Structure 1
Amino acid sequence: MREFVIVTDSCCDLPEDYIKNNNIPYVPLTYRFKGKEYLDDFGVSLNYRDFYEGMKNGEIPQTSQANPDAFYKVFEPILKEGKDIIYVGVSSGLSGTHNSSNIAKEMLEDEYKEAKIAIIDVLTASLGQGLMIIKALEMKEKGSSFEEIVNYLEDTKMYLNTYITVNDLNHLKRGGRISSAAALFGTVLHIKPVLTLNNEGRVIPVIKVKGRKNAIGKLAEFVHNKLENPEEQIITICHGDAQSEAERLRELILKEVNVKDVIINHIGPVVGTFGEPGALSVFFIGKHRQNHVIDIDI
């Protein structure tokens, strides 16, 4: 049986130590911040706090998807060693990076006829994507085959739940998610939307909540209602420089369920550009992912 390697991209937002300790190859996306271009490299080139502080002061970052050449440079050395690849990548509904990975795959499969390259579009990003990498590595460690891991990821991704709340409705307005009138009205009334990623991996509003405290409580409620087999599950929480609120969310979740582990980390710069300072997200495997709006009238 050929060896295989789990590969990802920098949108997974796993802790840098986890990436290093598990020798996970990754394709970095890039972003431009304060006139300088950076690799998205898990906070090494630019500290997360400095990034979010800049955004709070009005800096607007610009991101670039990974191109096929970036994938070629990461994939090709692995194939040269006679190993196959399972790439666990950011949602195709959020980034053209997925398309770049497929172009690189086609190029390399022409050169390496025996190679297998599986492209897994997890239809989410950040630590939801990271959670799937953790699962894949656990399975590999236990001796699961290439095909078993690929099948698990493809089957499970539709049960990978993503719930997000943001502080600033004006950021959603700039991204075209809500109208200017809705942003003004919601800001005056302290409305905080809860968002999810649907079956196409695209962001949709789910429900409106009044006040940040209630929004965080709603995230915990979604976990309580949709999590299955909690003792076997890892929950991941990520935040846009809102560590204390991420820890509060963990406390609320653990009041009702006992889980295998809870991992908290920052949202990285590329994903954070589309989130905002104060964004808070939770990811878990449970009932089928939400694909519809409960209440969008803001």
Structure 2
Amino acid sequence: MKDFVITTDSNCDLLPEYIKEKGVGIIPHYYELNDTVYGEEVNLTPKEFYDSMRNGLMPTTMASNPAVIHSTFLKYINEGTDILHISFSSALSGGYSNVAAGARELCEEYTEAVIIVFDTLNASLGQGLMIMKAVELKEAGKSLTEIVQWLESHRENFCVQFTVDNLFHLQRGGRISKMTAIVGSMINIKPILVINEEGRLVSAGTVRGRKKSLSTIVSNMAEQMGSFIDNPGTICVVHGDAAEDAEHVVKLIKEKVKDAHVIVNVISPSIGAHSGPGAIGICFFGERSVNY
């Protein structure tokens, strides 16, 4: 069986030490702040990035660079390995289209090369959990084709519950109207968001107050886990420079899910530019059949 490598993009929010240990290839997504483009060799720390937003700077984001996609994939082709690229949701970014186009171009030129681009229809550590599962299956001896088949049959089981602290970042991204953001902020409304089966971020309701929003996403998680709650696997908590709230959510999760294994990471800037400081998400294995 020909060897293959698993690659993804920087929106997966996997821990750096995991990426290094498992040899996962990363294609960056980019963000621009104060006329400087970040995302490849130059990056802000999470604290610097989110503080800049707190101070009123508004970053813009860019999907993956076709030249970087080409050079990354060509390196693996020249090493004689096939490629499984596990991508950020095509409904949330042009990154999937860029990678798919790059893969097609290279496979036309290098006819022996195999590059499969898998659309997670997910984001952040919802996407990251899929990569972790793919790595686990690869280490168990599964082929590239077998892994893709497993991911396709379980894609809807990777779930995300999400809330933000500042409605105006959602308004900037076109998720809600300016009037909704103004009125909602005045009365301390917090949205509950999910990624639906089309890979889009959609509303699953609203609650009043930060603490209520955090407890609600945990309660929703426990309900959505359904039959998987007794064998939850890894549960992920992601945050927009809100470590204290993230730890509170971890505590709530462990009260709901016995023996939960929880990992925590910061939301990458190319997602955080839209969700803002204080955003909190939970990514887990469950039943994404709920209609929102």
TM-score by length of 1: 0.93
2:161 corresponds to which residue? 163
1:295 corresponds to which residue? none
In the alignment, structure 1 segments of 5+ residues that lack a partner are: 293-298
Aligned residues: 290
Deviations 1:125-168 (A, max 9, x none): 11111111111111111111111111111121111111110011
In the alignment, structure 2 segments of 5+ residues that lack a partner are: none
How many Å apart are 1:45 and its aligned residue?
Answer: 2.5
How many Å apart are 1:32 and its aligned residue?
Answer: 1.1
Q: Which of 176, 189, 193 is 1:191 aligned to? A: 189
Runs of 4+ in 1 over 2 A off after TM superposition: 229-232, 288-291
Question: What is the CA–CA distance in structure 2 between the aligned matches of 1:63 and 1:271, rounded to whole Å?
Answer: 8
How many Å apart are 1:285 and its aligned residue?
Answer: 1.2
Question: What is the CA–CA distance in structure 2 between the aligned matches of 1:14 and 1:7, rounded to whole Å?
Answer: 12
Contact 2:196/2:288 (<8 A) preserved: no
Contact 1:191/1:208 (<8 A) preserved: yes
Q: Which of 59, 67, 70 is 2:68 aligned to? A: 70
Matches for 1:92-111 after TM superposition, within 5 Å: 92-111=90-109
User: Residue 231 of structure 2 aligns to a residue in which SS?
Assistant: helix
1:233 and 2:233 matched: yes
How many Å apart are 1:288 and its aligned residue?
Answer: 2.3
Matches for 1:270-281 after TM superposition, within 5 Å: 270-281=270-281
Question: What is the CA–CA distance in structure 2 between the aligned matches of 1:71 and 1:45, rounded to whole Å?
Answer: 19
How many Å apart are 1:259 and its aligned residue?
Answer: 4.6
Q: Which of 210, 214, 219 is 2:212 aligned to? A: 214
Question: What is the CA–CA distance in structure 2 between the aligned matches of 1:291 and 1:76, rounded to whole Å?
Answer: 41
User: Residue 167 of structure 1 aligns to a residue in which SS?
Assistant: coil
TM-score by length of 2: 0.95
> How much identity, in percent, do the aligned residues show?
39
How many Å apart are 1:275 and its aligned residue?
Answer: 0.8
Q: Which of 176, 179, 182 is 1:178 aligned to? A: 176
Deviations 1:172-208 (A, max 9, x none): 2222211222212211211100011111111111111
1:10 and 2:22 matched: no
Deviations 1:90-122 (A, max 9, x none): 000110010011111111111221222111111
Contact 2:77/2:113 (<8 A) preserved: yes
User: Residue 52 of structure 1 aligns to a residue in which SS?
Assistant: helix
1:296 corresponds to which residue? none
User: Residue 11 of structure 1 aligns to a residue in which SS?
Assistant: helix
1:261 corresponds to which residue? 261
Q: In angstroms, what is the RMSD of aligned CA positions?
A: 1.5
